[in-house]
Amino acid sequence: MLKEQNEIRIGPADMKAIPHPGVELRQMLEDRGWSQTDLVFVLGCHPKSVNQIINEKQGVSPAMSKALGEAFGLAPGHFSELQRAFDLASADEPDPSVLLRAQMQKNYPIREMVKRGWIQDGDADSLGKQLARFFDVRDAANVPYLAHSAKKTSYEERAIPPVQLAWLFRVKQIARAIAVPKYSERRLLDAVSKLREMLAAPEEARHVPKILGECGVRFVVVESLPSSKIDGVCFWLDENSPVIGMSLRFDRIDNFWFVLRHEIEHALQGHGRGDPEGMIDAELQGDQAGTGSSVPEEERIANAAASDFCVPRQKMDSFIARKNPFFYEKDVLAFAKLNNLHPALPVGQIQHATGRFDYLKKYQVKIRQFVLPGTIADGWGQSPALAMEI
Instruction: Give the lowest-confidence range in 39-48, 368-377, 378-387.
Output: 378-387
Per the structure, the complete domain to which residue 141 belongs is given by 97-159
> Which of 131, 159, 187 is the endpoint of a domain?
159
pLDDT at 148 over 60: no
Residue 386 covered by a domain: no
pLDDT at 384 over 60: yes
Q: Let me know whether 218 and 359 are in one domain.
A: yes
Q: Let me know whether 230 and 101 are in one domain.
A: no
Q: Let me know whether 203 and 345 are in one domain.
A: yes
pLDDT at 3 over 50: no
End-to-end CA distance of the chain: 67
H or E stretch at 112 = helix 110-115
Q: Let me know whether 185 and 317 are in one domain.
A: yes
Which residue type, as a one-letter code, is found at position 64? M
Confidence band for 142, pLDDT divided at 50, 70 and 90: confident
Q: Let me know whether 261 and 345 are in one domain.
A: yes
Sequence-separated (6 or more) residues with CB below 8 Å from residue 248: 221, 223, 256, 367, 368, 371
Q: 230-260: per-residue pLDDT in tens?
A: 999 999 999 899 999 999 999 999 999 999 9
Higher pLDDT, residue 340 or 108: 340
Average pLDDT in the 115-139 region? 88
pLDDT of residue 167: 94
pLDDT of residue 289: 55
Confidence band for 140, pLDDT divided at 50, 70 and 90: confident
Q: Let me know whether 266 and 318 are in one domain.
A: yes
Q: Let me know whether 133 and 207 are in one domain.
A: no
Return mean pLDDT, the chain.
87
* Residues facing 74 on adjacent strands: 4
Neighbours of 3 (CB within 10 A): 13
Residue 86 covered by a domain: yes
Q: Let me know whether 298 and 236 are in one domain.
A: yes
Residue 390 covered by a domain: no
pLDDT at 277 over 90: no
Q: Let me know whether 74 and 151 are in one domain.
A: no
Residue 112 covered by a domain: yes
> Which of 118, 135, 159 is the endpoint of a domain?
159
- pTM score: 0.78
Average pLDDT in the 109-118 region? 90
Q: Let me know whether 333 and 348 are in one domain.
A: yes
pLDDT of residue 157: 64
Q: Let me know whether 186 and 280 are in one domain.
A: yes
State how many domains the chain has: 3
Burial 134-165 (b: 16+ CB within 10 A, else e): bbebeebebbbbbeebeeebebeeeebbbbbb
Q: Let me know whether 351 and 253 are in one domain.
A: yes
* Contact between residue 234 and residue 242 where contact means Cβ atoms under 8 Å apart: yes
Confidence band for 7, pLDDT divided at 50, 70 and 90: very low
